[in-house]
Structure 1
Amino acid sequence: MENQAETFSDKLLGFTLPGRDARARVVRLDKVVDDVLSAHDYPAPITHLLGEALVLGALMGGLLKGGAGQLTMQAHTRTGVVSLLVCDFRAGEMRGYADFDADRLEALGANPPLSALFGEGYLAITFETGPGERYQGIVPLEGDSLAEACEMYFSQSEQIPTLIRVASRAGGSGRVAGGLLIQHLADGEVGRERLHVRSDHPDWEHVAHLASTISHEELLDQDLSMEAIAWRLFHEEDEVRVQQGALLFRGCRCSADYYTSVIERFPAAEREEMRNDDDKIVVDCAFCAKEFELAI
């Protein structure tokens, strides 16, 4: 591994194992996750869920080439307690939001399983890599975690063996969340035809076994750098190549001008129905909880 400043929180770290045809991303969120959660007064199960979702968004968004494009992850259900969970990543800018039934959530207790939160839901993962370049995969929300559903996405939609580990907890100064994503790539090159990628490939079995030993404590330890995590897991490999990733921060693309441009597309009669008792159209952003009074 190269000598460089170590990475601890709110920044992506990538690394590859050239001898094993594997690539990985590691992330730990500190201020970012607190900034996103502060927009709403979420109960504990939702802060835990959204913290995990933001980690997954950062890990998968970090796979975009050159830091360009956008990754959006949405979990939907018509029957579950959480009707919508969404987060996205664009060049390090992150945002997230959850919509849920508070009364039904309270009845589930302190630590409800994923199945109780979503019922029969599905997870949609969308990569936008450039103008008009968009692809999406949809998988059922099955298993014990959002991470398992994301592993299923890569297995079914991209045929890439993938292991993901995510951890989230409330600390003394706020919530901390972290994660590791590692993948096996044919011939060790991104973008080549994946004809020979197999989940039982001996190199992948070796990498997956070592990666699976990562603990929640290591992912969340703010005194343990992400370079140290990569070294702990793979120090016996011939080579570990580390690449610094994007700085992560909470962002939102809402603005009065943007919402005005959207509302202006509606017919005049529909815009009149949108007006409140003060004859004004007010739009609130679910991501940042800001309200915009539109001059229309």
Structure 2
Amino acid sequence: MTTLSQIAWDDTILPFQLDRSDIRGRVARLDGTLDQILSQHDYPAPVEALVAEAALLTALIGQAIKLRWKLSLQVRGDGPIRIIATDYYAPSAEGEPARIRAWASYDPDRLDPEGPAFDQIGQGYFAVLIDQGAGTLPYQGITPLSGGSLAACAESYFAQSEQLPTRFMLAWRRERAEGRDIWRAGGVMLQVMPASSGSGASGGASGEQGLMTANDILKGEESENWNRTNILLSTIQEDELIGPKVSPTDLLVRLFHEEGPRVFDAQSVRFGCSCSPEKVRTSLSIYSAKDISHMTTDEGIVTADCQFCGAHYEFDPATLGFEATRTPDDGE
């Protein structure tokens, strides 16, 4: 049964195209999904904000990858917030939901709970990784942290690595519903169609830290189309992104009715983790018996906790590493 905290377009990603402008995009809602991601942890407010932003970016970017592929975002810095990591697992078959997970590492002694979130990452990088599956080499693209937000970093990544002008508008907040706190999150992504981008690139870079911007890539009519749609996108209100009354299709019509919006099949998304006892065993298979002994607790077991979902695993040390003397079936 649908509850007051659920709406029809919760946890969906809707791809669309603006035919007049040769621009594509996606609208994402991550309500229950983000709620599950953040409920696994007790992050301070700045960390929660960055995890919410990264999860939205991951959903918006990841929807374009093929079945069974994996897309990851990694943010690393030298500040109190050291790592933000997300994974998007594309559906294993048509009609199935995609899965998202996210995790953060931070130094509580250095963190300012009231301070700006992005500034507390410090100097570092924003990376996009795409894993196409067994037998392939993962793709990785990296850009410096810049622009004051993870969304700005993602925009710089696409301009630098793909020469595709890209824009994100994101919103998230925690609100009270049905006697408990829940998260609402939504966002819109705009991106120039690959066939339309780059023809006027001058080779210069006018952005922060010498990074490329849309003005360095697009010229003439392409630039006019891009600027016009961005002006329209800038009129969006927070409640249109995360409120319960404006559907993604209604939002697109409101923003872009003169640009010829055309929508495609929506993709559902859920929280999901890929951890398992077998994966933990594999990760420990490179260690010797001596190494495993250093990991063994006073109770005579080796434990492991998933940073993403909090799952707890316990193992017989004799079944671990490349010098294991017992099999899992014998030892546990």
Give me the TM-score of the superposition, normalised by structure 2. Answer: 0.80
From 149, 155, 158, the equivalent of 1:154 is: 158
- Is the deviation greater in 261-270 or in 139-148? 261-270
Q: Which runs of 4+ in 1 moved over 4 A?
A: none
Instruction: Kindly state the Cα deviation for residue 199 of structure 1 after the two structures are TM-superposed.
Output: 3.2
From 243, 252, 259, the equivalent of 1:221 is: 243
From 99, 111, 126, the equivalent of 2:129 is: 126
- Is the deviation greater in 140-149 or in 261-270? 261-270
Mapping for residues 243-262 of structure 1, pairs under 5 Å = 243-262=264-283
Correspondence 1:233 to 2:255: yes
Structure 1 residue identity aligned to 2:76? H
Correspondence 1:185 to 2:185: no
Would the aligned equivalents of 2:70 and 2:87 in 1 still touch at CA under 8 Å? Answer: yes
- Distance in 1, matches of 2:278 and 2:56, equals 30
**Higher Rg of the two aligned structures:** 2
- Is the deviation greater in 148-157 or in 138-147? 138-147
- Distance in 2, matches of 1:128 and 1:284, equals 24
- Distance in 2, matches of 1:231 and 1:225, equals 10
- Distance in 2, matches of 1:185 and 1:216, equals 26
Would the aligned equivalents of 2:171 and 2:185 in 1 still touch at CA under 8 Å? Answer: yes
Q: 1:111 to 1:8 in 2, by over 3 A?
A: farther
What is the aligned residue count? Answer: 281
Would the aligned equivalents of 2:11 and 2:29 in 1 still touch at CA under 8 Å? Answer: yes
Structure 1 residue identity aligned to 2:188? L
Greater relative contact order, per chain length (Cα 8 Å cut-off, separation 6+) = 1
Equivalent position of 2:84 in the other structure: 85
Equivalent position of 1:199 in the other structure: 218
Equivalent position of 1:270 in the other structure: 291
Q: 1:86 to 1:225 in 2, by over 3 A?
A: same
Structure 1 residue identity aligned to 2:72? T
Secondary structure of residue in 1 paired with 2:239: helix
Q: Structure 2: where are the runs of 5+ without partners?
A: 1-6, 91-97, 202-216, 320-332
Instruction: Kindly state the Cα deviation for residue 244 of structure 1 after the two structures are TM-superposed.
Output: 2.2
Correspondence 1:211 to 2:212: no
Instruction: Kindly state the Cα deviation for residue 130 of structure 1 after the two structures are TM-superposed.
Output: 4.3
Equivalent position of 2:323 in the other structure: none
Equivalent position of 1:98 in the other structure: 104
- Distance in 2, matches of 1:68 and 1:230, equals 29
Instruction: Kindly state the Cα deviation for residue 203 of structure 1 after the two structures are TM-superposed.
Output: 1.8
Secondary structure of residue in 1 paired with 2:291: helix
Equivalent position of 2:70 in the other structure: 70
Would the aligned equivalents of 1:8 and 1:224 in 2 still touch at CA under 8 Å? Answer: no
Mapping for residues 18-33 of structure 1, pairs under 5 Å = 18-33=19-34
| Identity between Structure 1 and Structure 2 (%) | 35
Instruction: Kindly state the Cα deviation for residue 196 of structure 1 after the two structures are TM-superposed.
Output: 4.8
- Distance in 2, matches of 1:229 and 1:23, equals 15
Equivalent position of 1:37 in the other structure: 38
Instruction: Kindly state the Cα deviation for residue 178 of structure 1 after the two structures are TM-superposed.
Output: 1.0
Equivalent position of 2:326 in the other structure: none
User: Residue by residue, what CA displacement relative to the aligned partner does 1:160-207 show, whole Å, maximum 9, x if unpaired?
Assistant: 01111111111113111111111112446xxxx854573342222222
Instruction: Kindly state the Cα deviation for residue 263 of structure 1 after the two structures are TM-superposed.
Output: 1.3
Q: Structure 1: where are the runs of 5+ without partners?
A: 1-5
- Distance in 2, matches of 1:186 and 1:56, equals 19
Equivalent position of 2:49 in the other structure: 48
Q: 1:7 to 1:182 in 2, by over 3 A?
A: farther
Q: 1:257 to 1:61 in 2, by over 3 A?
A: same
